[in-house]
Structure 1
């Protein structure tokens, strides 16, 4: 199956505001957001959830620990690659990224607590 990856120039008019927001947020338009532009409400919803998560008390690094843990638990290679890049952008060490990508425990107890909590939640929800 092939998906169209929209740009600011080719996206439906109703998606352009959310795509501009994605570009401002990430410094580029990720392919997932470009694909979601096909359905403006989906793209807007995804960006809204991203924004809401960024308002939590989790630091940007802790947020990426949570995302990478979810990526690992759900075996999403695409998401793992994308969030590895985002983790680097927020200053996470390459060592910690590699540890999360392999499902191993982190050395920092606070970061590991976030990873463990999400890992256990994923096992309860997904099975």
Structure 2
């Protein structure tokens, strides 16, 4: 049961209606979680702007962060959506399951990233210094660290929005992670 409804185009402001139209052209539909942002006059536009902001964490690396964070936060919506996006970025289902567990042993640099993203979230922004050191030793730099933290923040917003609203997941469910 959803705590709040998924608004239709007719239920949102004219500015959000324009964003809905753009999303529908780009994606073929407005995903439920994006629509839920539109209960606010500004949240959907602000969130989409943050998603399209320049970052050194892109493609596979971004999906490593998104999947690791969404697993820690137990967000079934974001896990489902980012499993699809992860595939589009060249990650296999097996790799994504490993990433959700906080590792990426198939790639040393992505492994350090997955470990860091998970540790930052699990330890509420106070990662173990050895995990940060391993991140730098794997070839990441200080700018990457800041961008990882920004990516975690973006993902946490959607994780929390879904966790609070419980809007229906409109993507195929992510494979179960054996714990």
TM-score band, normalised by the shorter chain? 0.7 to 0.9
- Tell me how many residue pairs correspond in the alignment: 124
Correspondence 1:32 to 2:10: no
What stretches of structure 2 of length at least 5 have no aligned partner? Answer: 127-179
Which structure would you say has the larger RCO, counting Cα contacts within 8 Å and 6 or more residues apart? Answer: 2
Highest CA radius of gyration, 1 or 2? Answer: 2
Give the 3 Å change call, closer, same or farther, for CA 42–69 of structure 1 in structure 2: same
Deviation track 1:92-121 (CA, whole Å, cap 9, x = no partner) reads 2222112223x1521211111111111121
Deviation track 1:30-79 (CA, whole Å, cap 9, x = no partner) reads 21001111212111121112112xx2122311101101111011121221
Q: Which has the higher helix share?
A: 1
Q: Could you tell me how far apart the structure 1 residues matched to 2:89 and 2:9 are? A: 25
Q: Could you tell me how far apart the structure 2 residues matched to 1:112 and 1:26 are? A: 30
Give the 3 Å change call, closer, same or farther, for CA 111–43 of structure 1 in structure 2: same
In structure 2, the partner of 1:88 is 87
Q: CA deviation at 1:25?
A: 5.5
In structure 2, the partner of 1:120 is 119
In structure 2, the partner of 1:76 is 75
What stretches of structure 1 of length at least 5 have no aligned partner? Answer: none
Alignment of 1:1-127 (within 5 A): 1-8=2-9, 11-23=12-24, 26=27, 28-52=29-53, 55-101=54-100, 103=101, 105-106=103-104, 107-125=106-124
Asked if the contact 1:73/1:122 (under 8 Å) is kept, the reply is: yes
